[in-house]
Amino acid sequence: MDRLTPVAPKAPGRWQIGTVSAIIDETPRVKSFRITLPLWMPHLPGQHYDVRLTAPDGYRAQRSYSVASSPLDEGEIELTIDRLDEGEVSTYFHDVVVEGDRVEVRGPFTSYFVWRGESPVLLLGGGSGVVPLMAMLRHRRRIAPHIPMRLIYSVRNAADVIYAGELGDDALLTYTREAPSGWIGHTGHIDADLVAQAGLSSGTAFICGSDGFVETAADLVTAAGFAARDIRTERFGPTG
């Protein structure tokens, strides 16, 4: 197995104030925030940070966001946030935060949902569940492009594709509601046919998305031959 990061941190760092250095519009309801950290430490692809907002009256809201960037991007992390209309923290980031703002974060948090160089790898993401998988893809492209890694990415329509400019031959998309005109690839929910197209029947599988997506995808990769111990799942909500 390749050694992919210099150090696997055992404990998250303490709360620190990062500075938003760039905001990228990914889709109409998803933005990426590049945050420069004074106490940066390398993360493992798949790890997340906690973000804490404090109102003038002391009220606090805290949520978790996966790191989308490679740990090779020293000194900064990228968080990609889906705007939920009734959401407390995601709407703050989308509607209030501008470049140069300071935000309080803590991490990276260890979890079993991390890629440490296992090979081959099948990534299955639904909606914003693609975020931690993108950290794995980006890191692998830069440090171990020989490792077979394929992404199956389920989105509602073309406007919802996050990181559209970065999805190459290693990504298979399916559109669940409306495919772009001329699309000859897969449509509808993820199924056995789409999993077979990825061409992997063993290795490590990382699955991230809504409860329904994770359950369906886990059943499909099990049926495709992946051992239960090699299937890692992460669910994003709604508890935060």
Ligand X SMILES: Cc1cc2nc3c(=O)[nH]c(=O)nc-3n(C[C@H](O)[C@H](O)[C@H](O)COP(=O)(O)OP(=O)(O)OC[C@H]3O[C@@H](n4cnc5c(N)ncnc54)[C@H](O)[C@@H]3O)c2cc1C
The 128-147 site mask, x for binding ligand X (CB under 6 A), equals: x--x----------------
User: Which one among 43, 63, 140, 150 touches ligand X, defined by CB under 6 A?
Assistant: 63
Question: Residue 240 interacts with ligand X (CB under 6 A)?
Answer: yes
CB distance 50 to 63 below 8 Å: yes
Q: Which of positions 156-185 make contact with ligand X (CB under 6 A)?
A: none
User: Which one among 2, 25, 74, 88 touches ligand X, defined by CB under 6 A?
Assistant: 88
| Phi and psi angles of residue 141, each rounded to the nearest 5 degrees, phi first | -65, -35
CA distance 57 to 10: 34
Amino acid at 115: W
Report the nearest approach of ligand X to the CB of residue 211 (Å): 9
User: Which one among 35, 44, 81, 149 touches ligand X, defined by CB under 6 A?
Assistant: 81
DSSP conformation letters of 172-194 = EEEEEEEPPTT--SEESS--HHH
Closest Cα to residue 71, out of 4, 168, 20? 4
User: Which one among 5, 27, 32, 66 touches ligand X, defined by CB under 6 A?
Assistant: 66
Compute the half-sphere exposure of residue 111: CA atoms within 13 Å on the CB side of its CA: 20
**Is the CB of 145 or the CB of 238 nearer to ligand X?**
238
**Is the CB of 87 or the CB of 117 nearer to ligand X?**
87
User: Which one among 5, 27, 32, 64 touches ligand X, defined by CB under 6 A?
Assistant: 64
User: Which one among 77, 89, 195, 205 touches ligand X, defined by CB under 6 A?
Assistant: 89
Question: Residue 80 interacts with ligand X (CB under 6 A)?
Answer: yes
CB under 8 Å to 184, separation ≥6 — which residues? none
Question: Residue 43 interacts with ligand X (CB under 6 A)?
Answer: no
CA distance 78 to 48: 10
**Is the CB of 82 or the CB of 118 nearer to ligand X?**
82
**Is the CB of 27 or the CB of 66 nearer to ligand X?**
66
| Peptide linkage before 145 cis (omega within 30 of 0) | no
Q: Using only the alpha carbons of the chain, give its radius of gyration.
A: 17
The edge-to-edge listing of strands for the beta sheet with 30-36 is 60-66, 48-54, 102-109, 16-27, 30-36, 76-82
**Is the CB of 33 or the CB of 40 nearer to ligand X?**
33
**Is the CB of 73 or the CB of 82 nearer to ligand X?**
82
What residue ranges bind ligand X (CB under 6 A)?
Answer: 48, 63-66, 80-82, 84, 86-91, 128, 131, 234, 236-238, 240
